[in-house]
Structure 1
Amino acid sequence: MTPPKPEARPDKVSLWRYLRLFRQDILSAQPARLYRAWMAEFRTPFFRSFLVNDPKLLNEVLKTRPMDFPKSDRVGEGLRPLLGNSVFLTNGEAWKRQRRIIDPAFEGGRLRGTFPAMLAAGQAAAERLRPGVQDIEPETSHTAADVIFRTLFSIPIEHQVAAEVFEKFRTYQRTQPILNLAAFVPVPAWVPRFHRRATRVTARDIRALITDLTAARQAEITAGTAPDDLATKIMTTADPETGERFSTGEMVDQVAIFFLAGHETSASALAWALYLLATNPEAQARVAEEAQNFMADPQFSRLSALRYTRDVFREALRLFPPVPMMVRETLKEETLRDRAAPKGAQVVISPWHLHRHTRLWDNPDGFDPERFATENGRQCLREAYLPFSSGARVCPGAGFAMVEGPLLLATLLARWSVSAARDRIPVPVAHLTVRSRAGIHLDLTER
């Protein structure tokens, strides 16, 4: 069964029609030609935008000259009430300093220490599930949030503050549009931003709760009683160049993006992976066999036994990349595939279109976890696979996610069989991440 895909709009529509479609759903607002184009130019009265699918140009933007193409503030405008000046939004020296402090917490050796917390969250999820038809997205959100709280602050989601942050974030998701007005209209820094009141209130509440957690952890660090988790590691790491550590306010910014990136993206990927397995019984049987063998003795050193499960998760990230588009900006006039791009032009990198590009991937819309063992699959992994971005600004939690995803699939599929609910085909749409317009309904049966 071919996985669902939004119906593309006609190639030509008016600017205002495009903006309305874009605000509703960034995926279905795009024309079908973007799945075969190497580059496309889009003009508005205020800026020019270039969507790039050319692997050579992507390599230049992300790897060869990343500092010449910093993150655009246009998309960040809508996220600042929650994320402040987190590593996701900053550029230049501020970003470099943040990464020097954050990256050591996500080095390979640290992943072994987070494994027990991930496993416990997965086992708790398997225990919570019940037989019958249900929307699996709320459960994957719950599970992914549980992983973040356990690995970051050593508390389960049942903890009062953790539960409150989770509930507030669910409200934030419903009030946060994909784009703020400032994404399309150049607004001077001194002009108040056009954020919905509900967005501002929930963002403020979330940050207040995170501030309480961070201040409590700082007190534990001072007293020498802090657990050895990700929060402690980050808060006690000094910038090797300046010797400075994050202040409480700076740490709140980082925790906010860890929660957004680590919870929302993982929840999206896990839900779509479960749907893909629900509609592909043979693949599910292989994952279940691997999962049951692994769960008989779940150890970090045995994660390589989940080889096919990892490929399933990797294929889910290809077909349904949680972050469907990323936006960079030109610092100076550039030439992009023989076209002049002025200073301040937007360079849009779309994993959604790149991962389904008809001139790059074999069977681009099909579900095939074994594709990564083929010559085409290996080449595309190197050149056309960006679920975590690439280059200097690759997501610091990429390795974390590639342990978490297969492990959660294993804990769930070892105990539960899933099938797709009849007449409930999910339609992917982009909000903060790629989710289903009306949920992902699966029929669960205990093995």
Structure 2
Amino acid sequence: MMPPKPPSRPDRVSLLRYARLFRRDILSAQPERLYRAWMAEFRTPFFRSFLVNQPDLVAEILKARPRDFPKSDRVGEGLRPLLGNSVFLTNGATWERQRRIIDPAFEGGRLKDTFPAMLAAADRAVEGLAEGIVEIEAVTSQAAADVIFRTLFSIPIDHRVAGEVFDAFRSYQRSQPILNLAAFVPVPRWVPRFFSRRTRATARTIRDLITGLTEARQREIDAGRAPDDLATKIMTTVDPETGQGFDTDEMVDQVAIFFLAGHETSASALGWALYLLATHPEWQEKVAAEARAVTHWDFAAMSRLRVTRDVFREALRLYPPVPMMVREATGCEHFRDREVPRGAQLVLSPWHLHRHARLWDNPDGFDPERWQGENGRRCGREAYIPFSAGARVCTGAGFAMIEGVLILARLMARYHVAPVEGRVPVPVAHLTVRSKDGIWLKVNARG
């Protein structure tokens, strides 16, 4: 069975129709030709942008010359009330300083250190899953949020503040696209940005709750009784070049993006992975058998979950949580016989790149086995960027891969999932790629 294609792939669209589709949902607006194009230009009297799918150009932008193509200021316009000056939105020296403080928390043996917290969250998700017809994105959202709170602040999702942040974030998530028209229309910097009252209020609620957690942790650090978790590691790390760490406001910005990147993206990928397994029962049984063969769940067990890892990688290919990224040209460039002017927006789209008809065998098909073949291995190196690539690759990419594979395996070891007739999920872009009306699955305990 084939997974559903994007909501629509119109052959040709006028600029007016494209704008209308884009405003409703960026995935609906993408014409069929972009899944074959190496590069496409969008030119109007008001703006100029380029979709770049050619692997060597993607590598040049993300890996070879990242400083020449910083993240576009416009990409985060809808996220600014929540994320402030977080590492997700900054560029240049500010971003470099932030990464020097954050990266050590995710290096070396830290993944192994955080594994018990991940396992506890996975077990809670397994025990809390009810049989019957279930909206599975709600389950994966809570499980991913539980992982973040346990690994970051050593508190479970049942903690009052964690629950309040989670509830507020769900409201924010549905109201904000991760990419909006501001990414394509050059709005002058001096023009004020207007956000809805609900968006501002919800962002303020989330940030106030995170501020309380951060201030409490600082008091524990000062008293010498802070747990050895990610928050403590980040808050006690100083920039080796300046000797300064994050103050409270800066830490709130970073915690907000950790929650977005670590919870929202993982929840999206897990939801689609479970749907793909529900619609491909032969792969579901392979994952279940692999998981049930594990007799001792420790960090070393993760290396034995090869099938589950390939399934999760395939879910990230078909439904990359962040469907598009936007960079800005700081100078004039010449790509594929096209002049790219200074200030042009360069759209790098995992959504298109991962389904590109001239790169992937069976690009719209669910085939976890592809990762063991020549085409899959080559495309995995050249055309697979679910966590971005190069200097700005997601710090938590390794964290996310362990978390996703672990939760998926633990759920499949206990439960069988099946699609619900008439409830085919339609992918749309909110903060991440989610289903328009949720992902509904029939859940039954295994014998």
- Give the TM-score normalised by structure 2: 0.98
In the aligned structure 1, how far is the partner of 2:116 from the partner of 2:9?
A: 46
Instruction: Provide structure 2 residue ranges, at least 5 long, that are not aligned to the other structure.
Output: none
For the 8 Å contact 1:23–1:177, the answer to whether it is kept is no
Look up the match of 2:159. Answer: 159
Question: Residues 78 and 177 of structure 1 are in contact (CA less than 8 Å); yes or no, is this contact kept in structure 2?
Answer: yes
Equivalent-residue separation in structure 2 for 1:355 and 1:183 (angstroms): 21
Q: How far is the alpha carbon of 1:423 from its aligned partner?
A: 1.7
Q: CA RMSD in A?
A: 1.2
- Contact 2:329 2:345 (8 Å CA) reproduced: yes
Distance of 2:55 and 2:174 partners within structure 1:
35
CA distance in 2 between partners of 1:12 and 1:375 (Å): 34
Q: For residues 255-296 of structure 1, give each alpha carbon's deviation from its aligned partner in whole angstroms, at most 9, with x where no partner exists.
A: 0000001100000000000111111111111100111122x3
CA distance in 2, matches of 1:286, 1:408: 15
How far is the alpha carbon of 1:370 from its aligned partner? 1.0
Partner Cα distance (1:350, 1:179) in 2: 11
Alpha-carbon contact 2:322-2:432 (below 8 Å) kept = yes
Q: Which stretch shows the higher mean deviation, 188-197 or 348-357?
A: 188-197
Q: In structure 2, what is the equivalent of residue 385 of structure 1?
A: 384
CA distance in 2, matches of 1:102, 1:12: 44
Q: For residue 355 of structure 1, what is the aligned residue in structure 2?
A: 354
**Structure 1 segment 45-444 matched on structure 2, within 5 A:** 45-179=45-179, 182-294=182-294, 296-444=295-443
**Deviation, structure 1 residue 7:** 4.1
Counterpart-to-counterpart distance in 1, 2:410 and 2:12: 47
Deviation at 1:178, TM superposition (A): 4.5
Cα distance, 1:396–1:178 mapped onto 2, change above 3 Å: closer
Equivalent residues of 1:23, 1:178 under 8 A apart:
no
In the aligned structure 2, how far is the partner of 1:47 from the partner of 1:241? Answer: 39
Q: Where in structure 2 are the equivalents of 1:9-24 lying within 5 Å? A: 9-24=9-24
For residues 32 and 220 of structure 1, the distance between their equivalents in structure 2, rounded to whole angstroms, comes to: 55
Q: CA offsets per residue over residues 373-428 of structure 1, 9 Å max, x none? A: 11111100100000000000000000000100000011111111111111211111
Aligned to 1:395, the other structure's residue is in SS state coil
Kindly provide the CA deviation profile for residues 294-337 of structure 1, in whole angstroms up to 9, marking residues without a partner as x: 2x310101211111101100000001100000000000111111
Moved more, 1-10 or 279-288: 1-10
Look up the equivalent residue of 2:311 and give its one-letter code: V
Does the aligned pair in 1 maintain the 2:179–2:324 contact within 8 Å?
A: no
Q: Given residue 40 of structure 1, which amino acid in structure 2 is its aligned partner?
A: A
Name the SS of the counterpart of 2:119 in structure 1.
helix
Further displaced range: 334-343 or 387-396: 334-343
**Secondary structure class of the residue paired with 2:305:** helix
Distance change >3 Å, CA 178–CA 100, structure 1 → 2: closer
SS where residue 442 of structure 1 aligns? strand
How far apart in 2 are the matches of 1:44 and 1:87? 32
CA contact (8 A) 2:9 2:30 kept: yes
TM-score, structure 1 as length reference: 0.98
Alpha-carbon contact 1:180-1:195 (below 8 Å) kept = no
Deviation readout 1:136-172 (Å, 9 max, x if unpaired): 0111101100100000000001101000000000111
Q: How far 1:134 moved relative to its partner? A: 1.3
Distance (whole Å) between structure 1 residues aligned to residue 323 and residue 183 of structure 2: 17
